[in-house]
Chains A and B, each alone.
Chain A
Amino acid sequence: MSRSERYQMTIEEWVVAPIQIIWSDWRARVGLFIILLYILMGTVGVWLVEPSQTAEGPRLLAPFQNWEFPLGTDTQGNDLFAQIVHATPPMLEMIVSGAVFATVMATLVGTFSGYKGGSVDRLLMTVTDILMTIPGLPLTIVLAVILQPRDPWVVGIILTINAWAGLARAIRSQVLTFREEDFVEASRLMGISTSTILLKDILPGLMPYILVNFVNSARTVIFSSVGLYFLGILPFTQANWGVMMNFAYNSGGALYTLSAIHWLLAPMITIVILSFGLILFAQGTDRLFNPQVRARHTSGPDIEADEEDMNVETEIRGSQ
């Protein structure tokens, strides 16, 4: 097998097949669409929508009245839609840094601990168990109060400071099943180094699992960050949906009057839709776990497998 063929197979296995599987599930499709919408809002949207300015419109304009301010305005006459759009980039930065931190930590600790076994495993798992037991939100709050983080990248890491522990344990138990596989055993007997075995033999099998958990960590970051901005525990250095909720709640009096309720609802609905998309995506990509579904989508070199692949295509369509 030549090098280019090998690359082609790798791409087939790790890029084409997963995309096919994801696309075959409506939940993953809708989830992906919503996620892409928010990414567009945070990248292109910021260029298209001008940042909101004080008194650019009438005070407390109701939504869907004036298309210059599609979601209405707050008590200062700020456009709510522009505020929501411009709060997206720091949010995305927080999500990326938090989810990457949690996933990388969990994968490193989980695979290493699971594969090594023995006292290394025991030590790492004791630390993991302790971190897992400490409730995440209070720990985050204490750290946020003492450190007063301002940079979205740092906030993201603080929000997932111990969120990786549970995932590390889950990955470890996955590794334990892989580690007894024949091909792993073979690599070990051939004297291939631990890091290479982990990277080449074990990690690929964990990828779908890691992806789903990446999405779940993203949701953790959104829920906690908005909650902590809403309570005013994180310093208000940037626009955030939680900061909007805080203003609507505390200074807007949105709880007592009907005329300010859209100010509170707009950021809330924004969060719910994003989180809905993430859960749908995670639910839909669950199918990536299933090795049978995977195998059907990865076309092998022989014609027989190709035929089977086509059968499965119709089977999946039929089941919808």
Chain B
Amino acid sequence: MIDNYYAERTAQAIFTVFAVASLSFGLIRLMPGGPIDFIRAQMIQEQGTDADMERVNSMVESYTNVRPDDPLYIQYVDYMTELIQGDMGVSMWYNEPVSGILAEALPWTVFVMAISLALTFAIGITLGAVMAYIEGSRFDVSTTLVSVFLNSIPYYVMAVLLVYLLGYQLSWFPTGGRFSSDVTIGMNLEFLANAFHHAFLPIVSIVVTGFGIQALAMRGNSIRVLGEDYIRVARLRGLPPHDIALRYVGRNAILPMYTGMMISIGFLFGGSVILEEIFTYPGIGYYMFRGIESRDYPLMMGAFLLITVAVVIGIYVADLTYGKIDPRAGTGGGDREAY
């Protein structure tokens, strides 16, 4: 049964990537006024009205991997084969292969987002558990209010405020870039500290606006678990409170948080487009925004695809570990009667 679960998840992850790649082909090719028309119009404009269509088509092909005068299914097969080989076309703005630009940017986005995700959930879960244990206390009520308030601030608003206050006004933190130009790149302490210094504000804007909702979710879960009969039984059996808190309450309250975490993965990587633009942090979202700004469709679609793939992998990993810690995953549900 468990083997089945893994196989199903793996198949689904692969199929999702395939579906998104097909979708991006559809968007590139089929939409009226889409990228191909745009490139063609630009070429014709540059070379006068009697532009050689053959040349236009091959230019379009070299940028987007799709040759407009081929039949549709051949275009599709071409596009997909190029993608599998890691070729996402050529950026029209940077005049470099898209995959090269993005491969260099992706680790930085993962760096910022992984730390943000870990901190958001660590703070949220701890705070939520404490709130649930002293439910109704003044600490609980005020923390609930603060959590709701912080959660109603969009992360980009927090980002703009932080960059204004701590970046431009007080100059405590850099207002852009991944690391200073004067440090040597490598696994030395100075470089790491410098990279953290640059990533600090983006991470803070995500964590501060994000932990509240997780804390409230954890609080709700814990309160529900605390009311369950098996907790009462555990207490009557005289189990140490520490064991009950961790093994019984903690474990059962944290399991439903997994769904929230998977949603957060998509939310964070998606949000990188706005966040990295505000902090001029050259990660993958930053390049997607550059692609939009300069109508550089290959770069934009490449970034879109890669962000999606990153999210699919993130959710896939989360799914697999979920199967490890929740023995119920992948067992129930399949044998229901169909009406």
Binding site for B on A (CB under 8 A): 27, 115-121, 126, 129-130, 132-139, 141-143, 145-147, 166, 176, 188, 194, 223, 226-227, 230-231, 233, 245, 249, 254-256, 261, 264, 268, 271-273, 275-276, 278-280, 283, 286
Contact = CB atoms under 8 A, between A and B. Distances in A.
B338 A118 contact: yes
A129 B157 contact: no
A138 B163 contact: no
B153 interface: yes
A272 B34 CA distance: 35
Q: How large is the interface on B (under 10, 10 to 19, 20 to 34, 35 or more residues)?
A: 35 or more
A166 B339 CA distance: 24
A137 B288 CA distance: 12
Contact of B312 (A117, A133, A275): A133
Nearest to B157: A268
A227 B156 contact: yes
Contacts of A142: 24, 27, 300-301, 304
Given A133-B16, A133-B315, A146 B152 contact: no
Nearest to A222: B154
Contacts of B277: 231
A138 B102 CA distance: 15
Nearest to A265: B161
Given A138-B273, A145-B300, A276 B338 contact: no
16 contacts: A116-B338, A116-B339, A119-B338, A135-B266, A135-B269, A135-B311, A137-B273, A138-B307, A141-B288, A142-B300, A146-B34, A227-B274, A249-B160, A255-B164, A261-B164, A280-B148
B194 interface: no
B216 interface: yes
Interface hub of A129, A142, A273 (most chain B Cβ within 10 A): A142
Contact of B15 (A115, A130, A194, A226): A130
A138 B270 contact: yes
A233 B157 contact: no
B16 A129 contact: yes
A115 to B, nearest CB: 7
A84 B31 CA distance: 35
B3 interface: no
A188 B308 CA distance: 42
A146 B297 CA distance: 10
B102 to A, nearest CB: 13
A255 B338 contact: no
B337 interface: yes
A254 B157 CA distance: 13
A21 B170 CA distance: 48
B239 interface: no
A137 B270 contact: yes
Nearest to A143: B27
A146 B168 contact: no
Sorted nearest first, the 4 A-B pairs with minimum C-beta distance are A118-B338, A135-B270, A137-B270, A276-B152
Given A133-B266, A139-B304, A145-B300, A272 B311 contact: no
Nearest to B35: A146
B292 A230 contact: no
B153 A231 contact: no
B174 to A, nearest CB: 14
Contacts of B274: 137, 227, 230-231
A138 B308 contact: yes
Given A129-B12, A146-B34, A276-B152, A136 B337 contact: no
Provide the main secondary structure of the chain A interface. Answer: helix
Given A117-B338, A276-B149, A133 B160 contact: no
A146 B27 contact: yes
A275 B336 CA distance: 40
Contacts of B307: 135, 138
Contacts of A286: 220
B16 A271 contact: no
B116 to A, nearest CB: 15
B20 A279 contact: no
B33 A146 contact: yes
Nearest to A139: B304
B339 A194 contact: yes
Contacts of B31: 146-147
B19 interface: yes
B164 A133 contact: no
Contact of A255 (B15, B34, B168): B168
Given A142-B301, A280-B148, A227 B154 contact: yes
Interface in B171-211: none
A138 B304 contact: yes
Given A129-B12, A134-B308, A188-B339, A255 B151 contact: no
A135 B339 contact: no
B311 A133 contact: yes
Given A136-B270, A141-B288, A283 B156 contact: no
Contacts of A118: 338-339
B133 interface: no
A230 B156 contact: yes
Contacts of B19: 130
B308 A133 contact: yes
A239 B263 CA distance: 31
A121 B338 contact: yes
